[in-house]
Each structure stands twice: as C-alpha cells, then as structure tokens.
Chain A
Amino acid sequence: MVDCHYLEPTTVSEVCTLLAEHGDGAKVVAGGQSLALLLRNGLIQPSHLISIQHVTELEDITASEEGVKIGAKVTLNRLIGIDDAHPTLRALSDAIKAVADPQIRNFATLGGAICEAHPASDITVVLISLNATVKLASADGERVVPMRDFVTGAFATAAQPGELLTEVIVPSFDLTVAAAAHRRFVLRAGDYPVVGVGAFVSLNGAGQCQEARIVVGNCSGAPVHAQEAEARLKRNNIVGNNGVLAAASELAAAHVAPSSDPMASNEYKIDLVSVLTKEALTEAVALAIG
C-alpha cells in the first residue's frame, strides 16, 4: 500500500504547476506499468502522485517535415503497426511488439517507458538509434533534449524536478537510402532482453555508408553508442559487404563492458552484442537499399 496524495490534472500547464508546487516528492504516473513496480519495491516514495490520465493533449501522433511527434501518453499498443502511417517508425513498432504482453502494452505509455530509464529498455535503444529527441515542459517553459542525453544511467534521466516529458520527436529520414533495425535476445518472451541492439544506417548512391548509429542496451546503466563500430562503417561500402558488418559487430562487442548478472555473464552478453549487431546491421542495410 502506498500512502500519498493522488492528483488528477487535465492539462499540461496544470501538471507543471503541480510539479512546481510539490517539488521532489511529486511523481508523474501515466500507465503505471513501470511506476507501480518501483513503488512496490520501495525504490520511490513519492508524497504526491500526479496522474496524467486525463491530460488528453498528450495523446496525439502527428507528422511534419521535421519528423513524427508522439505524445508522451500514447500507449505502446497504439505504436504497433504505426509504421503503416509513419514508415520511419518501423523499427520502433517492431521493438514494441516484443515488449511485455498485450495487457501491459494497453496501459504502458511511451513517455513512461522512456522515463523509467530501464537499462535494458528496447524502446530507449531504438529511439536513440533513430536520433529521437524528447520535449520537456515545466512551469518555466519547454526544452528539447536528444534521447542519447536524456537517459543518463540506470533508472536515471536528465529530467529535472518540475519537468514533464510531453513529446517524443523522431526525425524524418529518406526511406529510400536509410533504415533502422532492432534485435534483442530474451530468455523468455516479453522479458527485458539480455542484450538489445538498435542500428541505423544511411547510404549514398554508391552504397557507401553516410551515417551509422549502433546503440547497445543492457550493457551499462544507459544505452551505449558503439562509436568505433559506427566509424568502421562510415564511408565504407556496406552493401553486400558482410566482412565490414562483421568487423563493425566485433568492434561493438569490444566496445561494451557489461557486468554479469544472475541471468547472464558478461562474456555471454558480449557474444550476444556481436551476434545481434551483425543481424541488426544486416537488416538495416537490406531495408536501406529497398
């Protein structure tokens, strides 16, 4: 049982006012799927729970030139198949299909999943690989933070007390030359993965890699950018070039320094990083060349 005040504002500005008022002791609850576990395990002890259940302005998905904006309160199940309307979200939709189960995905929200900042989160990994940003609102105004800077460690984010994550922006990219893909390995369906990898590549007309992002989840507190591996790909011909993808995958594996946990040793996680990076890159390249 949790002993705290439960508030139900209806607009973002009301939420921000309440957050400013109650300071550090206030926590925002959307679907409650991550928060309830943190509460039960005593990891957070809020004085006020601010429910954003009735804040409908956070439920939109809109596209513009700049990219696709997803309201923080959009449930995970709504994002499955969202790539039909917004093809750049294919990797995100794919990743979310494997998150937990339909009951949980019906309640869990995108914003909640990001703010939990679970070290193994597939959603975080994919969003970083897509170069996504998040918008934070507070009584003082708004700011936009890149996803790669937002998650700062295990269950830790750059959000300041008083700030509400309102929106995720996935930037546009040219689907004819670029693509993202995600791979994960789980011990049981619906679990957090032992390791997850998100990959994004874009090609020039000659099949050379213009841009590459390789993001590894659950090998550190926050997702890890495998920079050496990304560098190995850039300006190289990566179409039909298994050798360079394998080399990059090895570099990604060499880059991470996971710690063992009861479910997997660090050696095994490193093996998986190599296998999954290769698979994710192979799929991303195949999609990029159409």
Chain B
Amino acid sequence: MNVVGTSAKRIDGIEKVTGTAQFTTDIVLPRMIHAKLKRSPLAHAKILRIDTSEAEQMPGVRAVVTAADLPDVRLGILTLDEHLLAHDKTRLVGEPVAAVAADTPEIARAACEQIEVEYEELPSLFDPEEAIKLDPPVVLHEEYEEYEKLLELAEMDERPPNLWQAYRIRHGDIDAAFKKVEDEGGHIIENRYATGYVHTACMEPHGAVAQWSSDGTLTLWAGGQSPYIARDGLAKALDLSPSKVRVIIPFVGGAFGGKLTVKEGAIAASLARKARRPVKIILTRAEDLSATAARTPFIFDVKDAVTQDGILIGRKVTSILWGGGYSGEGILKPIFSTHLYPGSYRLAALWVDSYGVYTNRVSGGALRGYGCAESAWAVETQMDIIARKCDIDAVELRINNLLTEGERTAITMPAHAFSAHECLTKCADAIEWETPSEPLDPPWYRGKGIALGNKYSFAPTASSTELKVHEDASCELRTSAVDLGQGAYTILTQIVADEFGIEIDKVKLVTPDTAITPFDHVAGSSRQTFHTGNATRMACDDAKRQIRELAAPKLEAHPADLEVSGGHIFVKGSSKSIEVEDLFVVEMLAGKRPADVEILGKATWEVSASPHDPNTGQGEQPMAYMGHGAQAAEVEVNVETGQVRVRKFVSAIDVGKAMNPQGVEMQNYGGGCMGIGIALHEDMCFDTSGQMTNASLMDYKIPSIVEMPLNEYMESIIVEVPHEHGPYGAKGAGEIVVVPTSPAIGNAIYDAIGVRIWDQPLTPEKVVKAWKEKKASGNGSES
C-alpha cells in the first residue's frame, strides 16, 4: 500500500466544504455567556483609575474583570513583559484594560462602554530608530531589568532602554573582505531595505470558549497552533498547575503564526471563573486586525563585498525589528531572520548586528516565514543588484555563490539535502529566464525577476504520538499536531495507512486535546510533517512490534520473522498468517479486548540543537533542517498608474519527499498568493496617535483572485531531494513558499522599468513616485 506520496483527498475536506466542521465559534455550551474587551484608546498612558461599577450594574452583565482580578504575573514567550490585562500602563492602542462577560455580545459591548478608565497620557514613541537610542525620548518598560527572561542577549556596553533583543554574528574576517575588494577592484554594494506591516488576517478571527469544572479544572477550546503552548500560557496567566488546564483545539481557520498564544482565551477563562459560567470570546475583524500580533517591519542595512567576478566574500548587516508595546511572539525574529544572510550562499565573512525594540505600536508576532521572508527581501534584492553591477546573469551569479552539499554555512548550519541549485534552475526554466519578456505598448512594461529562499525549522523540539490498534485492524492516531489548513491531518493519516498497509478510511485521528493527546511542540516553523511525521512512523513501529509479539506464539514464529500489513500478520517467507482480530479475545458483555493489554504504540521524536552564542552566532547545529525554494515572476507595470500585474508566477520548492503532491501544490499556490499580497498590496496603516486606520477587510487590501496570475500562468514545481532525517525524506513546505516572493517581484519590476522600491509593499503609488524620480534624474542606473 503506497499511500504516502499520493494525492490522497483531504480527510477534513467534506466536513469543511459542507459546513459541518466545528470551529471555536461553533461551540455552544449550556449557560454560556459572551465576553468583550475594553481596550485602550491611547498608545502610551498611565492607568490612574478604572471604574467598573456602572458596567457591573447593567442587566445581563455577569462578570467584569480588570488586572486587579488576575494574578500579578507577566507573560511572554521568552521575555515576560506583558500582563493579560494592562496593569499600570498601556503601551499600545487596543491593549485590553478590562473585560466583560454578559448574556449577549451586545450587552457585553455596551457594558465595556460604561467602564470608565482614567488615563494620564504619556508621550508615545513610534520610530524604531529613535527607540533604539541609548537616550530615547520615551522608555516603554522602566522595569525591564527586573523582568524574567529566558534568553540571553548579546553583550553590550550599555543596553538601550527600549531594546529587547540583540544578536550578533561574527564569522570570518570582515575587514579583510572589504579591504580585498577595495584593493582588487571589486564592488561594495550598500543599501537599506524595509518591510511593511502585515497581518495574518486569518479567515477565522481569534477566539476561545472557557469552562471550569467543579474540581477547578479549566477546559479551553481555541483555534490555536499548539495546545501545549496554550495550556502552559493559561496555567501561568491564571496561576494554575498545568495539569488543571485542558486545551482542546477544534478546527482552525488559518493561523500563519498568529495563533501561537491564546491571550483572549485566558481573559475568557478569568471571566468564566468569576461568572461561574462558560464564556465565549470571538474577536471582531477590526480587533483581530488592529490588536493581535502582526508581522511588524524590519529595517535592514546591508553592505556586501563582492569580487569583480561576482563572488560574495563579505556581508555586513545591521537590522532593527520594529517591535510594539511587548516583545511578544516576535521575540526570536531578530535571531531567525539572520539565517538568510548566508542563506544558501558561501560567505567567507559575515558580520551581523540584529536588534528588536519596543515602540507604542502593535506587538510583533509570527507570520509564515518568521523573519526569513523579511530578510530574503533585503538579501535577494541585493543579489539582483550585484548581478547587474557585475554584468552577470542573476541565476548564474547565484549559482556561482552557492554552497555545496556537506559544507557549513556562515551560521554553522550543515548544508544537507542541498537543493538550491535544482530549485533555481527549474524555476528559471519554467519562467523562460533566457528569453526576455515580450514588450508591451507604453505605459505598460514587462519584466522578469527571480529569487532564492530558505526556511529553517527551529530546534530543539519534540513531537510525541500514540497509536492504538482496534480489533477491526483500524488504527487511531492520537496527536497534538494541529491542522491549520496546511493538511497535517491528511498527511499523518497517510503515514499510518502506509505503515500498516491499510486503507485511509481505516485510520482515525484523535485531534489535539491535552487531556488525551500527547505532547507536540507546535504547528509552526514548517515542522509538522517533519517532526510529527517521524513520531507517527515510530509509534506505528512500536504498535507493530507489540502486534508481532502477541502474534508470535500463535504463529509459532519469532516476532522478528513476522510482518504486519493490511490487517494480517504474516510469517515472512511462508503462507502462514493470522488476522489482527485474532489477537483479541471475547469478553462477556464487553465485546472484544486485546488478548494481552491494549495495543498502544507510542513514540517521541526529538531534535536537539546547540544553543548559539548570541555574541558570535556560532555553534554546532542551530536548526532541525534547512528548506530551499526559488520563485520567479513576470510582471507588467503601468508607469502612469503604477499598477503592477503579476502575469506569471513560478514556485519551485524542495520538500524532500512530496507526502501529498496536491497538498504541496496548494502550498505553492496559496503561498504564492499570500506572498504577492505581502509584496504588492497589504499594509497596515496608522495615524499619528498610533491608531490603525484600515482595520477592516475593505481597507486592508488582501488581494482578490483577480490580482493573481491566471491559472495557466501559475506554476508549481515540486523538487524532492530527500533529507536523511525526514520521514520518507520529507521536509516542511508551509513557509518557504512565501520567502522568495517579494524579491522575485521587486526584481521583476526593476527588469521592467528600471526602478527599485526599497520598502514593502510595492504599491502603485510608490511605483509612480519611483518612476517620476527616475525620469527626473535622467538615468536608471543603481549603485
């Protein structure tokens, strides 16, 4: 039975298209009430007084909570800097300061309006370059030094008071690299890049349902990416033992990194405890867009030393992640973004200073690519500029600089299953790289661009699974892996079917529920196929071992000589066999039970990693694996209106082994669409007081299908270079698909009209402005 590697139908497909799939918002419990949040209208203010008395008196209001009702603990991923409800200060517009639970959402909202909060407004800080100063105009966290921190920052003489992350890479002799190109007539290429404010804007907004049982156990249903991260966060926020918290993840309507924690769930839980009723909270679209973590901007200053013949020998980068009021889930982005500075390239010298700072804007979080998609924008635009400067074809230049299998990158990651070359050349062939675009009549121009990308999957990490075998030879996989839409449940089902040689419909999944399913780290960092896939295979092996041991006496054979497949146990090399059912005995009144104990396979797959020195970025193996991909775009640009149409788009990604080729194709298409949105359209806008001004899907421009290339011009290429540790050789596909998109499109715009736009998104207005500047200066050459 070869189920792995086929485009098996999604096991959640019918439920989802017929509307029977249960999402958090579908959960209705007896006596359930509804929560709304009272949010800060100010970006930076002291809270002097909160008066909830009028709200509490309103008919239908069941509970009101403020920070005073909660344990005085700060929360966070690695720097614990944030209270569940604003404690003494608010540090961004939209920060929750109180919450109400009432019989209806409308009453709860009306009651929030009756809560009086007296603020003392403080000066706000929105500029990251001001924020990073040693003597900034505003300090957001006066007590930063006292916060609990689970990570070490790079050493510095004096920490700028708004800094929450500092990481350095010191590899090779950077001064020698720049001196060499100066002496020998190479190129020094220096540019500044910026990315924009992007939101995950999932179809399903953030939400949760909380219920307490009489023994003091909290059950929380939430669309999250990790039941265990959620469980531990809830326990910490509410001062509970983790064993007193049960988290169940129903279907999730998209996450993309935005649902790592369940803050709203913890607030709902505190209301539920006070009201002694189940509480549901579902954020409105405006709240979701303006007050949940976003992909906040990076600023990159990149300076490259390139020999005359186009070999990159030294790179210096300074970057700042424009954080918000709290370090949030973006805490590791200043580190992970640095992985792309060497990326797939050999770099003799690399010198990086990467920072994250607090400002009074929305907090930074994860969004598909976790810093890598952002740094790719800088690095892969830079590669295009280098190619043009050296007058070498952009594909050839990249190939000339690639690592080879077995080499280590400048961040000491072993280059294994190194497929950059194959991704790049297949992508170039598909876009007909050698053939220039057919010209159009002005004001339209066409051009092509290409970019390479990587995505590393973090470590240390672990996934556990359990596999129960039933008397009808069907298998039940218990996993805390979350299907966010990426297809994890289908792939895990395929693995079990494959390992047991049974039909897919004989595999059942028990989905994330911390009371039942074992630990799995998170549905993030493109890790589910790789890690949970491995754990699932191992649990299958364990269950099959138990079956062989139970069957051996019956078959009068040694367990090692038995094989389990298709519901049978065979003696290898003979016709003797029994059925799995034969391992069960009839028990009066109870049907069948296993002859011995439950057939329950279990396994844990772990990948360790050496911690990297934050002062040098050097260590042993920093990550679980390294993914590769290349994308190319052909664009049409109208220089009068600035409109950019992506005419053709090719995405070639290496997944090691396509477990479900159609699933990989969907990642390529979906990722391409999301990447095009990030490159050209999506932009959270803020006014001078820090308020988001386009917090609706009418104004936050997620592109529609009309903005996408036509079907036949959207091409998915699957590259399969097996990874020695991947299940069946597989690597993840979820994030790499958005990493090269922006630079591929930006490079195509340059090819079309000879202008660079340095800051995302590349909007029509910026295109027109850049084109006018080029006309005014009379030349389009770049340095």
Contact = CB atoms under 8 A, between A and B. Distances in A.
Nearest to A278: B640
A190 B106 CA distance: 31
Most buried by B among A1, A264, A275, A276: A275
B768 A271 contact: yes
Given A1-B106, A271-B768, A188 B641 contact: no
Nearest to B105: A1
B616 to A, nearest CB: 43
A187 interface: yes
Interface in B739-781: 763-765, 768-769
A274 to B, nearest CB: 9
Contacts of A272: 641
A188 B685 contact: no
B694 interface: yes
A263 interface: yes
Contacts of B764: 185, 187, 268
Contacts of A275: 640-641
Contact of B699 (A185, A263, A276): A263
B695 to A, nearest CB: 10
B703 A262 contact: no
A272 B765 CA distance: 10
A194 to B, nearest CB: 8
A189 interface: yes
Contacts of A176: none
Contacts of B681: 187-188
> Interface residue tally of chain A, by bracket?
10 to 19
Contacts of B106: 1
Contacts of A265: 765
B699 A262 contact: yes
B693 interface: yes
How many residues of B sit at the interface, in one of the four size bands? 20 to 34
A189 B706 contact: yes
B698 interface: yes
A185 B693 contact: no
Interface string A172-203: 00000000000001011111000000000000
A276 B703 CA distance: 22
A268 B768 contact: yes
Contacts of A190: 704, 706
Contact of B698 (A1, A191, A268): A191
Contacts of A185: 641, 643, 764
A187 B706 contact: no
B707 interface: yes
Contacts of A263: 685, 694, 699, 701
A268 B765 contact: yes
A265 B768 CA distance: 12
A188 B703 contact: yes
B701 A188 contact: yes
Interface in B79-96: none
Nearest to B684: A262
B388 to A, nearest CB: 28
Contacts of B706: 188-190
Interface string B636-666: 0000111100000000000000000000000
Nearest to B772: A271
Contact of A262 (B640, B643, B685, B707): B685
A262 B196 CA distance: 14
B387 to A, nearest CB: 31
A266 to B, nearest CB: 11
A108 B603 CA distance: 58
A126 to B, nearest CB: 19
Contact of A189 (B640, B704, B765): B704
A272 B706 CA distance: 21
Nearest to A3: B106
Contact of B701 (A1, A187, A271, A276): A187
Interface string A264-289: 11001001100110000000000000
A264 B641 contact: no
A189 B699 contact: no
A275 B643 CA distance: 12
Contacts of A264: 765
Interface string A150-183: 0000000000000000000000000000000000
A72 to B, nearest CB: 25
B704 A188 contact: yes
Contacts of B641: 185, 272, 275-276
A188 B644 CA distance: 11
A271 B640 CA distance: 8
Interface of B: 106, 640-643, 681, 685, 693-694, 698-699, 701-704, 706-707, 763-765, 768-769
11 contacts: A187-B681, A187-B701, A187-B763, A188-B706, A190-B706, A262-B685, A262-B693, A263-B694, A265-B765, A275-B640, A275-B641
Given A190-B706, A268-B764, A271-B768, 10 more contacts: A185-B764, A188-B702, A262-B685, A262-B694, A263-B694, A263-B699, A265-B765, A268-B642, A268-B765, A272-B641
Q: Return the 7 tightest CB-CB contacts between A and B, nearest first.
A: A189-B706, A262-B685, A268-B765, A262-B693, A275-B640, A189-B704, A262-B694
